[in-house]
Chains A and B, each alone.
Chain A
Amino acid sequence: MKSTLKKLGYNRVHKQMNDVFLKYTAKVVFLVIITFSINLFFSGHYTPGGGFVGGLLAAGAIILLLLAYDLKTLRKMLRIDDKRTITLGLAISFIIPILLMFFGTPLFTHQYTYLQLPVFGEVPIHTAVIFDVGVYITVAGTTLLIITLLASEQFMAESEGADKE
């Protein structure tokens, strides 16, 4: 993008591009990716997918926002602390198996039942889903933490001269 603009004769190029198309598309695509990651997450029990892939995809969606905007704006959009997110995810995925040990089975033995719901018909309910929610949150949080840590120095430096909306 920058090199193209330079070829066209813009010799002073802002470090952070205020690209309307990118920003608007990123918002829409973000929603699509998040929805798909939730879809992947739920399909994970019998088919490929699951908490890990879903979490990675969710982190990917947030990183798209990070690319379109900058770290400051992203932090304003999503007021979450990555480390808290990781802790929450880990806590969920360890509390559930421990609680399940009260059924008298070894660790990580799942329990399930089938519910009869009026519209959906027979719906399976698994404790593994709750464990997977923990995995989803942990993976998303960890990936995001790694990327933002790697990016933060550069972004912090660049956001000084970046566009102020």
Chain B
Amino acid sequence: MTDIIPILPILIPVISGIILLGVGRTNVYLHRVIASLTALLMVIVSIVIVYYVAQYGIIVTHVGNWEAPFGISLVVDMLAALLVLATSIVTFAVVVYSFQSIGPARERFFYYPMIMFMISGINGAFTTGDIFNMFVFFEVFLLASYVLITTGGTKVQLQEGFKYLLVNILSSNFFVLAVAYLYSAVGSLNMADIHNKLAAFDGDASIMSLVAVVMLFVFATKAGLFPFYFWLPGSYFAPPMPIMALFGALLTKVGVYAIARVYSLFFIDNTGFTHQMLMLLAVLTIVMGSIGAIAYSDMKKIVIYNILIAIGIIIAGISMMDEAGTIGATYYLINDIIIKAGLFLLVGFIIYRTGESDITKLGGLMKVHPVTGWMLLISAFGLAGVPPLPGFYGKLFIVTSLFDNGHVISGIIVLLSSLVVLYSILRIFISVFWGESMDFTKLKPISYDKLLFSSFLMVIIMVAFGFGADALYPLFDSAAQSLYEPSSYSGYLLGVE
């Protein structure tokens, strides 16, 4: 059982992708059925995985039956399991959303297979226990994302896609470089093994600070941290809405996950330098994101800059590396995956319905779509952290941890950023749903039941996630444990050696 379970999140989407390629590109309907059933299956499988990890602890499989520090291990701890679950839920919602939004022309050009390959890469990056293998899975999902960002071939997509391609190829090269540094310093690629070796090492490990800087450059570029976020608002703006939702919800979070993993496992020696640097960048990211979120009146841009704010908040929590900080960060990470997807899908619905993404040109939609309006309001509250909703608990833990460690200014910035988030989303709500009515005859006569189904599903899951926070606390505690107490993650090696 432990051999089969951890491989499934990678294998199911790949097989589905191959079947979709085999089906050929003419039968769009069949593509939709296969893709949505796969996503549903993945949700079920990942719930089983979460249950299994909660019951029996970390599951490990050694691919190819090679022993642990030498072969590639897939290690599913609670953090990885929860991220896989969130990924599956978002995938299901986005796939269903795509039926009515992306258009058959794009669907025929291998849209669903590429989503499946990308999800497989993302799940692989979450579950692998080997740093070089993580690089490989990064490449897998990046390759698929290159296709997705340019699919359709409009001018802006090609332009931004090229930028995206260059930035990611450059940072991937540095990823290999960082892994090479790491390997020459430590002599191992298995993340748990590296942690064990570094924890037992009592000499001068200052070379690790260099590796930390290179790795931070790599993952900060992927995650969109200051000052490497420059490509993000442009590139995420280009593709159609479902792809944007998928990218915004998932791709940056893989970078965050990688930062959390390597900073908890590898850089334990000189935390005064490495983690301080991380927190400084996180706070600057929050500030830049806040400026962007207020500055624009385009709905897509507002939500994209909200990604930056969330990334900054999560990284600030991670950089503390204590219990409260990491619990807050993992909780906020999962919350943000779900609610960012929901927000993108809601905004996408408004754009598809009205054909307009500038909030100043819209107004009075409340008369036509009252439920959507209130859902948008709820998601704004959830994102900003109004108490019963999940954003609150994540930020509470993160800010507590920041204050405990004496970073008062950072804590205040995190708190102030909540106001910015609330203001920026409320601005969408007020000017789109209230105010002077726009010309309702200009509304596009599209069918939108599936668009609303997906976006409401995400908001409802987010609300349930908030109300169930108390029941879910043990899961997040054990997820955070592998970050603040990394020996619990690397412990699986002890039985082998």
Taking Cβ atoms with an 8 Å cutoff, the residues of A that contact B are 83-84, 86-87, 90-91, 94, 98, 101, 104-110
Instruction: Answer whether residue B404 sits at the interface, using C-beta atoms and an 8 A cutoff.
Output: no
B423-438: contact bitstring with A at CB < 8 Å (1 yes, 0 no)?
0000000000000000
Apart from A91-B22, A94-B14, A110-B64, list 13 A-B contacts with CB within 8 A: A86-B21, A87-B18, A90-B18, A91-B18, A94-B11, A104-B3, A105-B3, A106-B63, A106-B65, A107-B64, A108-B64, A109-B64, A109-B65
How many chain B residues have a CB neighbour from A under 8 Å?
A: 14
What residues on B are CB-neighbors of A90 within 8 Å?
Answer: 18, 21
B29-69: contact bitstring with A at CB < 8 Å (1 yes, 0 no)?
00000000000000000000000000000000111110000
Nearest 10 pairs of A and B residues by beta carbon: A109-B65, A108-B64, A87-B21, A106-B3, A87-B22, A106-B61, A90-B18, A107-B7, A108-B63, A105-B65
Separation of A160 and B352 alpha carbons in the complex (Å) = 43
In the complex the two chains form, is A94's CB within 8 Å of B15's CB?
yes
In the complex the two chains form, is B18's CB within 8 Å of A107's CB?
no
What residues on B are CB-neighbors of A91 within 8 Å?
Answer: 18, 22
Separation of A84 and B24 alpha carbons in the complex (Å) = 8
Q: A83-B21, A90-B21, A91-B22 are in contact. Are A101 and B65 (CB under 8 A)?
A: no
CB distance from B375 to the nearest CB of A (A): 40
CB distance from B338 to the nearest CB of A (A): 30
Separation of A104 and B11 alpha carbons in the complex (Å) = 17
Separation of A33 and B15 alpha carbons in the complex (Å) = 32
Separation of A36 and B362 alpha carbons in the complex (Å) = 66
CB distance from B98 to the nearest CB of A (A): 21
Taking Cβ atoms with an 8 Å cutoff, the residues of B that contact A are 3-4, 7, 11, 14-15, 18, 21-22, 61-65
Separation of A23 and B202 alpha carbons in the complex (Å) = 68
Separation of A87 and B24 alpha carbons in the complex (Å) = 10
Question: What is the chain A residue whose CB lies nearest that of B62?
Answer: A106
Q: A94-B15, A101-B4 are in contact. Are A107 and B21 (CB under 8 A)?
A: no
CB distance from B317 to the nearest CB of A (A): 34
CB distance from A127 to the nearest CB of B (A): 12
Separation of A105 and B4 alpha carbons in the complex (Å) = 9
CB distance from A93 to the nearest CB of B (A): 10
Separation of A101 and B21 alpha carbons in the complex (Å) = 24
Question: What is the chain A residue whose CB lies nearest that of B60?
Answer: A106
What residues on A are CB-neighbors of B11 within 8 Å?
Answer: 94, 98, 107
What residues on A are CB-neighbors of B7 within 8 Å?
Answer: 106-107
Question: What is the chain A residue whose CB lies nearest that of B18?
Answer: A90
Separation of A104 and B21 alpha carbons in the complex (Å) = 29
CB contact between B3 and one of A84, A98, A101 (< 8 Å): that residue: A101
What residues on B are CB-neighbors of A108 within 8 Å?
Answer: 63-64
In the complex the two chains form, is B63's CB within 8 Å of A94's CB?
no
CB distance from B25 to the nearest CB of A (A): 8
Separation of A108 and B65 alpha carbons in the complex (Å) = 8
In the complex the two chains form, is B63's CB within 8 Å of A107's CB?
yes
What residues on A are CB-neighbors of B65 within 8 Å?
Answer: 105-106, 109
What residues on A are CB-neighbors of B4 within 8 Å?
Answer: 101
- Residue from B11, B18, B61 with most neighbouring chain A CB atoms (10 Å): B18
Separation of A94 and B10 alpha carbons in the complex (Å) = 12
Question: What is the chain A residue whose CB lies nearest that of B110?
Answer: A83
Separation of A98 and B63 alpha carbons in the complex (Å) = 12
Question: What is the chain B residue whose CB lies nearest that of A89?
Answer: B18
CB distance from B248 to the nearest CB of A (A): 29
What residues on B are CB-neighbors of A104 within 8 Å?
Answer: 3
Separation of A83 and B7 alpha carbons in the complex (Å) = 26
Separation of A90 and B18 alpha carbons in the complex (Å) = 7
CB distance from B11 to the nearest CB of A (A): 7
